[in-house]
Structure formats: C-alpha cells, structure tokens
C-alpha cells in the first residue's frame, strides 16, 4: 500500500512493507507463519495485482515473472513479489502520466 502522496511517502510505505515481509519470512522459517498471516495475504494480493497489470500491459514480462517465481523458495518468492509490485505500480503510474500528457498535448493541438 502506498502511504500518502508523492514519491517520498510512497517509498516510505514500500520500505515499511519490505520490513513486514522480512519479518513474515522469519516467522515462516520458524514455523510461526500464522503470526503474520496478514502479510501473506497482502503479498498474495500484490502478486495478483502485479500479474493482472503485466498480463494486460506486458504479457512477455508476465511470463518471465511467473517463470522466475516458479523456481524460487518461499522467502525469495515473497521478496520478488514485493519488489515487482513496487516496480509495476511505478510503471503503471508512469504510463498513466505519459498518457495524460499525450492527451493534454493532443487537446492543445486540436484547438
């Protein structure tokens, strides 16, 4: 989840989530994954969000992402899923900003 607005607040939210993911990984490795089940559910949601975005916008990247995940242990899958979600959210925001800028330029040109 991105906290607040602006790039710095988004980075802080991402760092907080990464800390929670690392804590969850330690819980799982100690056989106590249920203590941080909320993080596991959020990771799953973020994985699905990333998969949906890549499937719509970058199908080849989705295939690479899923292939990469399939060969990793749980801890590394969790880290990659969290990182890819941050990346895909940034890419989505960039693509939206670019589309808005292109639309505004077209509107200006049409006048």
- How far is residue 20's CA from residue 103's CA, in Å, rounded to a whole number? 39
d(CA 46, CA 13): 14
Q: What is the dihedral of CA 80, 86, 88, 94, to 10 degrees?
A: -150
pLDDT digit string, tens, across residues 9-34: 455 567 789 999 999 999 999 999 99
Token couple for 111:
């006048």
CA distance 78 to 25: 8
What is the model's pLDDT at position 10? 53
Per-residue pLDDT for 109 more than 70? yes
pLDDT at 111: 77
**What CA–CA distances, in Å, run from 106 to 17, 39, 95, 98, 109?**
39, 43, 16, 12, 5
Mean pLDDT of 37-46: 95
49-108 pLDDT, tens digit each = 999 999 999 899 999 999 999 999 999 999 999 999 998 988 888 888 998 998 888 888
Give the model's pLDDT for residue 107: 86
Report pLDDT for 55: 95
Q: How confident is the model at residue 37 (pLDDT cuts 50, 70, 90)?
A: very high
- One DSSP character per residue, 62-97 reads HHHHHHHHHTS-HHHHHHHHHHHHHHHHHHHHHHHH
Asked whether residue 47 carries a pLDDT value surpassing 90, the answer given is: yes
Do 29 and 75 form a contact (C-beta atoms < 8 A)?
yes
**The pLDDT of residue 61:** 92
């Amino acid at each position: 989840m991105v906290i607040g607005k602006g790039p710095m607040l988004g980075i802080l939210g991402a760092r907080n989530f990464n800390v929670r993911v690392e804590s969850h990984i330690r819980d799982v490795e100690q056989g106590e994954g249920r203590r941080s089940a909320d993080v596991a559910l959020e990771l799953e949601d973020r994985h699905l969000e990333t998969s949906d975005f890549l499937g719509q916008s970058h199908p080849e990247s989705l295939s690479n992402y899923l292939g990469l995940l399939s060969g990793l242990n749980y801890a590394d899958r969790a880290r990659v899923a969290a990182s890819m979600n941050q990346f895909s959210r940034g890419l989505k925001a960039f693509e939206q900003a670019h589309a808005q800028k292109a639309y505004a330029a077209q509107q200006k040109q049409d006048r």
